[in-house]
């Protein structure tokens, strides 16, 4: 006949069960957050088919963040806010609000994960977009922040295509007296294209630089390559942002030699 289980053994079994349950709950929580991020990525990847997918991605991530504010969720939400400002917002105020929210989220992600490339990237890009929308001269106070983030990104990953595009746009857009430098801008755009020739945002930036320097034949060549790209790195951005912009720029220099 089996005797009673000693009290100490019962407590040990219960403790093990409690630990196992807690582990399952932690894993399930992480899985839910990961699922939200992955679902948002899937929506973002095809937003050119339905721009409302960005709204659904934002809502999904906001819900996940409210339940469990993991850094991956915050980083992805910052990126989605950038896209909403770019292609969903229709007024200046709405754009500023979207970028400002993305900037706030990006800054929080940087605080939580200071070595995260993407946290720094979306923080820098939202900050830069907010400044562009507000007006370069009215937002020069943000320049030190964007430059610092650019330096951090290139330190974290010197081969980051996004970081080189950010640097190229920064040196192109900023006035010379504030550190603008077209030679450096061209170098960064070309480096980005060397790393990934299919990154049409970099090619568009290079074309804009050529236009600024009245190198219209070079600009037309790059713009046509944007339009003719068959395997763009980011198909949604290419379809919604890069091709329309390339066609607009081609039209603007149609009669220039």
Q: What is the DSSP string of 126-156?
A: HHHHHHHHH-TGGGGGGHHHHHHHHHHHHHH
Confidence band (pLDDT; 50, 70, 90) for 25?
Answer: very low
Tell whether 84 is covered by a domain.
yes
186-202 pLDDT, tens digit per residue, is: 999 999 999 999 999 99
* Domain presence at residue 254: yes
CA 165, distance to chain mean position in Å, is: 12
Using pLDDT thresholds of 50, 70 and 90, give the confidence band for residue 137: confident
Question: What is the C-alpha to C-alpha distance for residues 156 and 6, in angstroms, rounded to an integer?
Answer: 57
Among residues 85, 119, 134, the one where a domain terminates is: 134
pLDDT value of position 5: 46
Please write the tens of the pLDDT for every residue from 34-87.
589 999 999 999 999 999 999 999 999 999 999 999 999 999 999 999 999 999
Same domain assignment for residues 112 and 170: no
Residues listed for the chain: 257
Q: Are 58 and 77 a contacting pair, CB within 8 Å?
A: yes
Is 223 a member of any domain? yes
Q: What CATH number did the domain enclosing 243 receive? A: 1.25.40.10
**What's the CA gap between 119 and 111, in Å, rounded?**
9
Rounded to whole angstroms, how far apart are CA atoms 154 and 219? Answer: 27
pLDDT tens-digit readout, 84-136: 999 999 999 999 999 999 999 999 999 999 999 999 999 999 999 999 998 87
What does the pLDDT average to over 140-148?
A: 92
Domain assignment of residue 200, yes or no: yes
Domain containing 77 equals 29-134
């Amino acid at each position: 006949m089996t005797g009673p289980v000693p009290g100490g053994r019962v407590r040990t079994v219960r403790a093990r069960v409690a630990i196992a349950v807690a582990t399952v709950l932690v894993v399930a929580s992480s899985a839910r957050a990961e699922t939200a991020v992955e679902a948002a990525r899937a929506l973002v990847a095809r937003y050119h088919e339905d721009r409302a997918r960005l709204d659904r991605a934002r809502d999904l991530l906001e819900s996940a963040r409210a339940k469990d504010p993991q850094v991956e969720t915050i980083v992805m939400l910052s990126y989605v806010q950038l896209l909403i400002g770019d292609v969903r917002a229709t007024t200046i105020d709405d754009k500023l609000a979207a970028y400002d929210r993305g900037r706030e989220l990006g800054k929080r992600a940087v605080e939580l994960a200071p070595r995260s490339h993407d946290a720094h990237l979306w923080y820098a890009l939202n900050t830069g977009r907010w400044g562009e929308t507000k007006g370069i001269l009215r937002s020069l106070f943000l320049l030190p922040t964007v430059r610092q983030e650019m330096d951090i990104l290139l330190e974290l990953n010197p081969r980051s295509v996004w970081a080189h595009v950010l640097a190229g746009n920064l040196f192109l857009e900023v006035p010379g007296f504030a550190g603008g430098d077209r030679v450096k801008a061209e170098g960064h755009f070309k480096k980005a294209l060397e790393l990934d020739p299919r990154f049409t945002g970099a090619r568009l930036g290079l074309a804009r630089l050529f236009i600024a320097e009245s190198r219209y034949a070079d600009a037309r060549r790059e713009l046509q390559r944007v339009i003719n790209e068959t395997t763009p790195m980011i198909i949604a951005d290419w379809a919604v942002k890069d091709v329309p912009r390339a066609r607009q720029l081609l039209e603007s220099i149609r009669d220039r030699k």
